[in-house]
Chains A and B, each alone.
Chain A
Amino acid sequence: MKKISPFWIVVVAVIIAGLVFTSTVKNEYYFNAAYVVLQALLMAVAWNVLGGFTGYVNFGSAGFFAVGAYTAIALDKAFGLPLPLLILASGTVCGLIGLALGYLTLRLKGVYFAIATLAMAIVFETLVVNWAYVGGAKGAYILTPDSHLWFDSYIQMLFMVMLLLALAAIAVSRYLNSSRLGRGLAAIRDDEVAAECAGVPTLRLKLISATVMGVMMGVAGAPYPFFVTFVDPVSAFNLFIAVNSIAMPMIGGTAHWIGPVIGALLVGSLQEIITVTVSSELNILFVGLMLVGFITLAPQGIVGLVRKFRGRKP
């Protein structure tokens, strides 16, 4: 019999904990807060596939997220599709955008690639602002469907959906990190020309990486309209989403799949606590300070700190 990895035991335990959570806790605030943290976690894991594993910094995460959200809005309005199909559609659309973006821009290096991704987000924002069908600059109201399966409320169901999506993304990211493909991505990050000369198909691997990132971000955006019930371009394309997607993996550690998970849980939870106890405005300042602190004191993030502490070579 094949030995089951502890990872899958944890995954099952988390799902069960999620189900217990939904059936015992009644206060909706906790589901709202958990949803926000899980959404940030999914975005951080997604960003890390291209930014951490492959070394291409994407500043346009908000663009992918918003396109995911607006794909769901448009398809919901046009056909009234159920949520799972909307998630699938948003993932497909954003995966294709990731592929196209990769094809057009992955020959750019470093800061030029980062600027190109930022520009892409602005292009999509302009398109959405001028697309009246999905509300244009005024924004769109979304009615939450009546059905919420066996859950007590719609937010409980959304929380569970986001939990499953985040777990799926973590599983994919973990697989990428430890597979031959992940080793190829790491080679690209270390020295792209040397990787090419060793026979690693660099362009293909970068395209796979960009596509996976796009799919994950699109999937993260799809349930968002039903969560907030009002979406406008300013909130969906918010730079804060892009900043969080970069900051969380950096704080957690980018080279290992667990890095963005730790970073997102830590920063995301602290953000929620600060929003409630101090002020929602101070959130951004807090993320900035943490990022500065980590980059100067622990450039390898929490994962790097743990490795250093244990005295092990990464």
Chain B
Amino acid sequence: MASSRLVVEGLEAGYGAVRVLHGVSINVEHGESVVLLGSNGNGKSTLIKCIMGIVPPTAGSIHFERDGERINLAGKSPQEIVGLGISLVPEGRRLFPALSVEENLLLGAYRAAARARLAENLAFVFEVFPALRERRRQLAGSMSGGEQQMVAVARALMTEPRILLIDEPSVGLAPILVIRMIAKIKELKERRNLTVLMAEQNFNQAIKIADRGYIIVHGEIAFEGRSAADLKNNDLVKQYYLGL
């Protein structure tokens, strides 16, 4: 039985002299949707970047458990981590603006393993996002924010992920598009049997797909909510996060 699990323990990281994460421990179980909540500058993106191998942690460990095999992600390059089955939808989308939508998607399937299933995956993402099929020849940089976010999600799916990391999918999108995007992510998760870790500021939208979540404040896990309701009714959320 295929299983994927992500375990982060005592993670510390920062940029130069600035320490951002102070002993963060989280875990994401197979098939779960876990949200990382917190306002700007609390370390959500840094945590995601550490998992992805973009920012090297200074202490702590990150393990990916795949079908019972425990793989240490520390010191691996992003490209190797993608190869293991973890894919990122980056904050701000970060598409290749001078390339067409289709080329952006094909780049997601650069590795041999993903390339083997290229045709099926391409058909799948075009089915999920029909707008992308129509605009496959258009330059990614010339699309609207909502369409770009679709390309970013679709590109991540082309890598054949087991775990999908999504960093701030709502940034720069109109509220209606945020709602649609969150619904799409939920649909994708169910259809592709994905495990999702999502960093998001938009509390009300994020908890719509959350099985559970963490609230991260000043680089520390301030609260662990075992369910969406747990997160919603928490005093910390009101205090630190909603500013009530």
Contacts and interface: CB of A to CB of B under 8 A. Distances in A.
Interface of A: 180, 183-184, 186-187, 189-191, 193-203, 255, 313-314
A197 B103 CA distance: 15
B146 interface: no
Nearest to A181: B110
List the 7 closest pairs (A to B, CB-CB), nearest first. Answer: A199-B82, A190-B96, A194-B94, A196-B78, A199-B111, A200-B110, A197-B88
Contacts of A201: 79, 110-111
Contact of A313 (B87, B109, B138): B138
Given A194-B90, A197-B52, A314-B98, A183 B82 contact: no
A190 B99 contact: yes
Given A197-B54, A198-B155, A199-B82, A190 B110 contact: no
30 contacts: A183-B99, A183-B106, A186-B98, A186-B99, A186-B103, A187-B107, A189-B98, A190-B98, A191-B97, A193-B90, A194-B95, A194-B96, A195-B107, A196-B54, A196-B78, A196-B79, A197-B52, A197-B54, A198-B82, A198-B159, A199-B82, A199-B83, A199-B87, A199-B110, A201-B79, A201-B110, A201-B111, A202-B79, A255-B98, A314-B98
Contacts of A203: 77
B21 to A, nearest CB: 19
A205 B139 CA distance: 23
Interface residues of B, number: 32
Nearest to B83: A199
Interface in B45-77: 52, 54, 77
Given A186-B96, A187-B99, A198-B155, A314 B108 contact: no
Interface of B: 52, 54, 77-79, 82-83, 87-88, 90, 94-99, 103, 106-111, 114, 137-139, 142, 155-156, 158-159
B107 A196 contact: no
Given A195-B96, A202-B79, A184 B139 contact: no
B54 to A, nearest CB: 6
Given A183-B103, A186-B98, A199-B109, 18 more contacts: A183-B99, A187-B99, A190-B95, A190-B97, A190-B99, A191-B95, A191-B96, A193-B94, A194-B90, A195-B107, A196-B79, A197-B52, A197-B94, A198-B155, A199-B82, A199-B111, A200-B107, A314-B139
B99 A193 contact: no
Given A183-B103, A190-B96, A197 B110 contact: no
A184 B158 CA distance: 15
B159 A199 contact: yes
Contacts of B95: 190-191, 194
A307 to B, nearest CB: 11
Contacts of B159: 198-199
Contacts of B138: 313
A167 B52 CA distance: 43
A198 to B, nearest CB: 5
B153 to A, nearest CB: 12
Contacts of A198: 82, 107-108, 110, 155-156, 158-159
Given A186-B96, A187-B99, A314-B98, A196 B77 contact: yes
Contacts of B99: 183, 186-187, 190
Contacts of B106: 180, 183
Contact of B142 (A189, A194, A195, A313): A313
Contacts of A180: 106, 110
B92 to A, nearest CB: 10
Given A180-B110, A184-B107, A313-B138, A200 B79 contact: yes
Nearest to A184: B110
Contacts of A186: 96, 98-99, 103
